[in-house]
Amino acid sequence: MRNGHPALRLAATLTASLTASLSVHGADLPRAPYLPLATAQALANAALERCAADGYAVSAAVVDAAGVTRALLRADHAGPHTLESSRRKAFTSASLGRPTAELAELIKRMPEVAGLRDMHPSILILGGGLPLRVGGERLGGIGVGGAPGGDLDQACAQAAIAQVLGPP
Amino acid sequence: MRNGHPALRLAATLTASLTASLSVHGADLPRAPYLPLATAQALANAALERCAADGYAVSAAVVDAAGVTRALLRADHAGPHTLESSRRKAFTSASLGRPTAELAELIKRMPEVAGLRDMHPSILILGGGLPLRVGGERLGGIGVGGAPGGDLDQACAQAAIAQVLGPP
Amino acid sequence: MRNGHPALRLAATLTASLTASLSVHGADLPRAPYLPLATAQALANAALERCAADGYAVSAAVVDAAGVTRALLRADHAGPHTLESSRRKAFTSASLGRPTAELAELIKRMPEVAGLRDMHPSILILGGGLPLRVGGERLGGIGVGGAPGGDLDQACAQAAIAQVLGPP
Amino acid sequence: MRNGHPALRLAATLTASLTASLSVHGADLPRAPYLPLATAQALANAALERCAADGYAVSAAVVDAAGVTRALLRADHAGPHTLESSRRKAFTSASLGRPTAELAELIKRMPEVAGLRDMHPSILILGGGLPLRVGGERLGGIGVGGAPGGDLDQACAQAAIAQVLGPP
Amino acid sequence: MRNGHPALRLAATLTASLTASLSVHGADLPRAPYLPLATAQALANAALERCAADGYAVSAAVVDAAGVTRALLRADHAGPHTLESSRRKAFTSASLGRPTAELAELIKRMPEVAGLRDMHPSILILGGGLPLRVGGERLGGIGVGGAPGGDLDQACAQAAIAQVLGPP
Amino acid sequence: MRNGHPALRLAATLTASLTASLSVHGADLPRAPYLPLATAQALANAALERCAADGYAVSAAVVDAAGVTRALLRADHAGPHTLESSRRKAFTSASLGRPTAELAELIKRMPEVAGLRDMHPSILILGGGLPLRVGGERLGGIGVGGAPGGDLDQACAQAAIAQVLGPP
Amino acid sequence: MRNGHPALRLAATLTASLTASLSVHGADLPRAPYLPLATAQALANAALERCAADGYAVSAAVVDAAGVTRALLRADHAGPHTLESSRRKAFTSASLGRPTAELAELIKRMPEVAGLRDMHPSILILGGGLPLRVGGERLGGIGVGGAPGGDLDQACAQAAIAQVLGPP
Amino acid sequence: MRNGHPALRLAATLTASLTASLSVHGADLPRAPYLPLATAQALANAALERCAADGYAVSAAVVDAAGVTRALLRADHAGPHTLESSRRKAFTSASLGRPTAELAELIKRMPEVAGLRDMHPSILILGGGLPLRVGGERLGGIGVGGAPGGDLDQACAQAAIAQVLGPP
């Protein structure tokens, strides 16, 4: 380290210049919107409620834009796997910014992108996850698991968004 | 947290109302049936016995409705992977409420639901797992692994159910 | 397997006798009470509310008697680790049937039981988890994480139990 | 689910009321500041540079307030474990909002809180991690690993903060 | 690889000589005894029975000399963590050839060997695991978890050995 | 546990009878052959040597009948993934008793058994793994990874078996 | 161990001969080139820069020939999964020495090699990873994740190589 | 990303300058020595041989400077946990450049650094691991596990180094 390669010494010099110019003040920092817990929980409950009305016992998860869980709820009689399936769908939609059903269709059409399934331990490419956005800004994702079909899970997620976040 | 968003304060108020009305007495609580260990162990042994009669050394697992193992047995000469394959089949059938072979057929017909495989670390979509129910109530699942074919594994699970739980 | 050891053949015979006598009818099965989601969610919200009143942004988790999550909520500004710390405290209290703070004290007094920490990946021995019981029956556990001290986390869990489940 | 417990039906009603009042507009959402990558990378480089000046080959990690990595750099000859040790220190300081060395001292004084180590797979309680804040707002954490002592690692993290973020 | 280092070429030559002399016939192979499943299951049941007589709902695990599970049983009302705690105790005693309680005492006396806890993901150093041997040969291990004390767990394991394997 | 279900009491009685008849003497125990390390290491070296002669830098693994590694060697310039790919191929062939290439062909022909891939974390269904048997008895498996094709990997494994274990 | 199998004693003797002839001097050891951190970081930044110019927020990873990370950077607004997807692509290209897109095409054409996906936890077979070589020697790999298509990710990786390492 | 923060644009500009000056030619790259497999395997065998002479059945692992395994051997009758304990000791010594016993003593004297145990999943701080160096250059580490004491394990590692690498 001490007798570093010239490139490393150059990098150090550049870093010094760079950091000198970066001193940061709170007012200068960019800001991102986030969902308060009350909204996240309302989304999860609205999805459960809709699925219950349809006759399905499910789990619903809401994650923030970083993919970290805000609310995770499992209905009575929903199987234990639905906790993780709903959370992974929410993570996937939050991180990729697309409905999970769309990604599932993509892999069906283009088998060379099947590797999308293996990108991260929390990725789940199966209908039931939707991204959350308000005014074009990313807020995270919602995922539902436990209905007998990804389209049925997605309908509950969609209903929750319509009810809580309003029209897009 | 102290200067919370109005929605959070509203949620807190509603929660207070909600919880006030929920005080719980044991008598009020819903109840779910469960398999005693003797029955779970009898199921696993009956599956092993049937597979042994068919000439296969297997593992057999019985899990409860929460997907948590009750009995897990590995026959002499059954490969080490059969512990986890039988347990995952049992978990999958218990949590989804369907035979694992049915789910495998579903994915074959509808490749867009292949993501079912990735819902949870304990999911295994391969013949040999059956849900356990008595009188329409969910009791968990049984899984068998190690015979040279999922249909052969399932036959042992089915025989165990017939012998121990009787006709559906 | 076919030329089995005599003990194995004996076991098979005994299993056959055993299972013959076990045919199960729904009415015969033992039953266990469980918390409906509304109650589980009320517990988690009540814990968050109490911690918010104390000035702490936390996560709260409620798990059932099998240790499987029913409700998991993370307050605005609660760190990402609190999801898992609250869930692990809830799991630990549900599975061992004791407050996590009591277990932490036990290890402090008796270092030879420090291995309790390593029993299972979801065990967390740190104040903030309490078992849930009604009328002497086990219903699961509640865990809180994020306050600057296990006693503060536990106070929120305790307040939630008092508010939702009433006096023991 | 269809013949739900009264408490569940009540919760559904309350949720409906709650969500009706929550319709969200972008302008209403709370916002949090975040570090741009250029700043995160400058912090990591400044830490490496300071440690190199001190004669140590280390890794440096910067994570955001959600604990998700922004920049992770490993100096030539720094051991492979330093990637994960620096990242975990950064995560721990970001999520708990305190220097990791302070937490290590806390456990030393109060063995009953040793469970802090087991809260989450990314927690590492060992000197070398510092929270990042500007104007009292949480921005994440920085962690350094590889110097022969947590105080030496922390000195590099501290120097990076002073150079890039300026006086607190 | 093609232009290999001289040492590699030397190794290859020696390997060729070595393997030429090793041709293996079944009759020449060393042999190790193993427990049939009936015995493994009898051990687990005897441990459960003894703990039930003592008033404790536990799990009991029996693993072979390779540390691979043969039988794993969880009593009604035993917590979910006991599956893994009993299996880990069995693994630890099988692999190290010593009672887990003895290892726990060792760490208490010699803190410099506390790293024993971290040797392998299945190690659990907490009373309740015993090695299984017959005639001086290693057969595996038995582990019990769920009684309120490692000595109580070990008593059940010990009783099972005495009943099933007879005096040492 | 104390007021057990009748079936549990019956099981206890039967267990008592069963275990009474099982007292075990070393001479009575069944025995299984195993490969000494020298043979396992010779197999791995012979596989490396053959692959080197073919121009490929690979890893070679030999596991016992329980799937536990005996020898694992990585050639100079073999990629880091080959350690795990060779070990998993060896595990798979040892546990299922079949060449991994045969299993890969099976899944190609019968997509409904694709779940075989998910049975256990150490399963790898890709050419290059072969079971080890002498005189019809199972001894484990050998796996090779790193050649540009599973058939090339398998040729090295096959050559090692022929050289070290002789004709089948 | 003391009364070892003849093959083991033979192996010991051969090992003794072998090691006697191997005494190693630094000057004799083979040497491999590696990328200094400055170069690795320049590669990652160049990839981010190109993707930003194309309108994509991505992560970029550079790993060494052993697959161990040197630099990992996540652009503002790149999803959390891109950290792991870029790192896994870099690992895969470094360890297999091929573009990940080429491997994805291979699996598409030859379904019997789909097991390539399961070789190691860090393998990701999806466009966006390229091996790094200079003068025919292996230096590691670069991976990019987050653009809406593996070809777009790969274009950024390719541009970085062209800019930093020059023509092949 | 398109309307980037000024700091990000500055960083991009600097990166462009930096990378322009870095074009890399093979001849310019720094180089590091590595152990050929024959030497790594000789080290592992010499350690096993010494432990066998002392009466202990152990595993021995040799890893390279990146912590990636080169050779891993398990003696007949060595417990399954010794594979991972020896590998982790080798990794720890390779990555930290110190004997694992020294680190264990350090934690004993300074409990505030107990977090060293949690830095990375492959760290094991328990006697039996030694760094490998020739002529002051880092080559990796050797680890031994299975003797009844870390000092006994280390003696075998030390003997192997003396025999294969000669005096330091």
DSSP H144: E
CA distance A84 to B14: 28
D149 shares contact with chain A (CB less than 8 Å) = no
* Residues of G whose CB is below 8 A from H166: 23-25
A5 belongs to a structural domain: no
Mutate: best of H62, H76, H83, partner F, most F CBs <10 A? H76
The sign of the torsion formed by the CA atoms of G45, G51, G55, G59 equals negative
Q: Locate B98 and state its tokens.
A: 């369907």
A132 belongs to a structural domain: yes
CA distance F119 to chain G (A): 12
The letter for the amino acid at H80 is P
pLDDT at position G24, please?
58
CA distance C70 to D144: 37
pLDDT at position D70, please?
98
Mutate: best of H17, H19, H120, H142, partner G, most G CBs <10 A? H19
* Residues of B whose CB is below 8 A from C94: none
Pairing of strands H59-63, H137-145: antiparallel
Q: Which residues pair with A153 in a beta bridge?
A: none
Q: Locate D72 and state its tokens.
A: 């992770």
CA distance D28 to chain G (A): 21
A29 belongs to a structural domain: no
The mean pLDDT of chain A is 89
| Residue D93 buriedness (CB in 10 A; 0-12 / 13-18 / 19+) | buried
The sign of the torsion formed by the CA atoms of G93, G97, G102, G104 equals negative
How confident is the model over D115-163, as pLDDT tens digits?
Answer: 999 999 999 999 999 999 998 899 999 999 999 999 999 999 999 999 9
pLDDT at position E28, please?
82
Looking at chain A, the whole-number percentage of residues with pLDDT higher than 70 is 83
Check pLDDT > 90 for residue A10: no
CA distances G41 to D69, G53, H14, Å, are 15, 18, 12
Looking at chain D, the whole-number percentage of residues with pLDDT higher than 70 is 83
Q: Locate E91 and state its tokens.
A: 């693994």
CA distance A34 to A134: 10
The verdict on a CB contact (< 8 Å) between B45 and C135 is no
Mutate: best of C2, C18, C19, C138, partner B, most B CBs <10 A? C19
CA distance A76 to chain C (A): 6
C114 belongs to a structural domain: yes
What CATH number did the domain enclosing G95 receive? Answer: 3.30.450.150
Which of A128, A161, A147 lies closest to A46, judged by CA?
Answer: A161
pLDDT at position H49, please?
98
Question: For residue F9, what are the contacts with CB-CB under 8 A and spacing of at least 6?
Answer: none
D81 belongs to a structural domain: yes
How confident is the model over E8-62, as pLDDT tens digits?
Answer: 444 444 444 444 444 556 668 999 999 999 999 999 999 999 999 999 999 999 9
Which of G40, D104, A24 lies closest to H117, judged by CA?
Answer: D104
Check pLDDT > 90 for residue A132: yes
How confident is the model over A52-75, as pLDDT tens digits?
Answer: 999 999 999 999 999 999 999 999
Q: Locate C56 and state its tokens.
A: 């702490």
The verdict on a CB contact (< 8 Å) between D21 and B10 is yes
Q: Which residue of H has its CA nearest to E116?
A: H126
Check pLDDT > 60 for residue D22: no
Q: Which residue of D has its CA nearest to G36?
A: D76
Mutate: best of B34, B35, B76, partner E, most E CBs <10 A? B76
Region C94-108 average pLDDT: 98
Q: Which residue of C has its CA nearest to A34?
A: C76
The verdict on a CB contact (< 8 Å) between F145 and G119 is yes
Q: Locate B40 and state its tokens.
A: 């779970």
Which of G14, G21, G30 shows the shortest C-beta gap to E5? G30
* Residues of A whose CB is below 8 A from B5: 36, 38
Question: For residue E134, what are the contacts with CB-CB under 8 A and spacing of at least 6?
Answer: E33, E165, F24, F25, F26, F29
pLDDT at position A24, please?
58
Q: Helices (H), strands (E): how many in chain A?
A: 5, 5
Question: For residue B58, what are the contacts with CB-CB under 8 A and spacing of at least 6?
Answer: B47, B48, B51, B75, B78, B82, B86, B144, B145, B146, B147, B153, B156
CA distance B36 to chain E (A): 6
CA distances A98 to A58, A126, F127, G117, Å, are 21, 12, 36, 24
| Contact of H35 with H140, CB cutoff 8 Å | yes
CA distance F8 to chain B (A): 5
pLDDT at position H25, please?
60
| Contact of D19 with A22, CB cutoff 8 Å | no
pLDDT at position E167, please?
77
Looking at chain F, the whole-number percentage of residues with pLDDT higher than 90 is 80
Q: Which residues pair with H131 in a beta bridge?
A: H141
B117 shares contact with chain F (CB less than 8 Å) = yes
- Per-residue pLDDT tens, chain G, 168 aa: give them: 333 444 444 444 444 444 444 455 666 899 999 999 999 999 999 999 999 999 999 999 999 999 999 999 999 999 999 999 999 999 999 999 999 999 999 999 999 999 999 999 999 999 999 999 998 899 999 999 999 999 999 999 999 999 999 876
Q: Which residue of F has its CA nearest to G30?
A: F76
G106 shares contact with chain H (CB less than 8 Å) = no
CA distance D97 to D139: 10
* Residues of H whose CB is below 8 A from G55: 1-2
pLDDT at position C2, please?
35
Residue F160: strand, helix, or coil: helix
Which of E36, E82, E126 shows the shortest C-beta gap to C8? E36
The mean pLDDT of chain C is 89
| Contact of A49 with A73, CB cutoff 8 Å | no
pLDDT at position H20, please?
44
pLDDT at position H69, please?
98
Residue numbers of A between 24 and 63 with CB closer than 8 Å to D: 24-27, 29-36, 38-39, 42-43, 45-46, 49, 52, 55-57
Is pLDDT larger for residue G57 or for residue A8?
A: G57
What backbone phi and psi angles, to 5 degrees, belong to A159? -60, -40
pLDDT level of residue F167 (50, 70, 90 thresholds): confident
Question: For residue H99, what are the contacts with CB-CB under 8 A and spacing of at least 6?
Answer: H93, H127, H129, H130, H131, H154
What single string gives the DSSP state of each residue in chain G? -TT--HHHHHHHHHHHHHHHTT---GGGS-EEE---HHHHHHHHHHHHHHHHHHT---EEEEE-TTS-EEEEEE-TT--THHHHHHHHHHHHHHHH-S-HHHHHHHHHH-GGGGGGGGSSTT---SSSEEEEEETTEEEEEEEEE-SSSHHHHHHHHHHHHHHHT---
| Contact of H143 with H86, CB cutoff 8 Å | yes
D111 shares contact with chain A (CB less than 8 Å) = no
Q: Locate E122 and state its tokens.
A: 């299945």
Segments in chain B below pLDDT 70: 1-27, 168
**Subunits in contact with chain G (3 or more CB pairs closer than 8 Å):** A, D, E, F, H
Which of G49, G15, G35 lies closest to G144, judged by CA?
Answer: G49
Which of A7, A14, A30 shows the shortest C-beta gap to H5? A30
Length of chain C: 168
CA distance H40 to chain F (A): 9
* Residues of G whose CB is below 8 A from D37: 48, 73-76
How confident is the model over D82-114, as pLDDT tens digits?
Answer: 999 999 999 999 999 999 999 999 999 999 999
DSSP H115: G
Region A105-116 average pLDDT: 97
Number of D/H CB contacts below 8 angstroms equals 78
pLDDT level of residue C28 (50, 70, 90 thresholds): confident
CA distances F158 to C165, F88, F168, Å, are 66, 17, 11
CB count in 10 Å sphere of residue F143: 34
| Contact of F56 with F114, CB cutoff 8 Å | no
> Domain limits at A148?
34-164
The letter for the amino acid at A8 is L
Segments in chain H below pLDDT 70: 1-27, 168
Q: Locate H59 and state its tokens.
A: 């595993």
CA distance A165 to C113: 50
* Residues of H whose CB is below 8 A from E30: 76
Taking the model in full, what pTM does it have?
0.92
Residue numbers of D between 58 and 87 with CB closer than 8 Å to A: 64, 66-68, 75-77
Check pLDDT > 90 for residue A156: yes
Total tally of structural domains belonging to chain H? 1
Three-state SS for chain E is CCCCCHHHHHHHHHHHHHHHCCCCCHHHCCEEECCCHHHHHHHHHHHHHHHHHHCCCCEEEEECCCCCEEEEEECCCCCCHHHHHHHHHHHHHHHHCCCHHHHHHHHHHCHHHHHHHHCCCCCCCCCCEEEEEECCEEEEEEEEECCCCHHHHHHHHHHHHHHHCCCC
Looking at chain C, the whole-number percentage of residues with pLDDT higher than 70 is 83
A8 belongs to a structural domain: no
Task: Pick left, alpha or beta for residue B149 (phi over 0 → left; psi -120 to 50 → alpha; otherwise beta).
Answer: left
Q: Which residue of D has its CA nearest to G59?
A: D70
The verdict on a CB contact (< 8 Å) between C10 and F30 is no
G26 belongs to a structural domain: no
DSSP F149: S
E147 belongs to a structural domain: yes
List the Cα angle A52/A36/C90 in 5-degree steps: 65
Question: For residue A3, what are the contacts with CB-CB under 8 A and spacing of at least 6?
Answer: none
Region E1-14 average pLDDT: 42
Q: Which residues pair with E140 in a beta bridge?
A: E132
Does G contact C via 3+ CB–CB distances below 8 Å? Answer: no
Q: What DSSP element (H or E) covers D62?
A: strand D59-63
The mean pLDDT of chain E is 89
CA distance B40 to chain D (A): 27
* Residues of A whose CB is below 8 A from B120: 80-81, 83-85
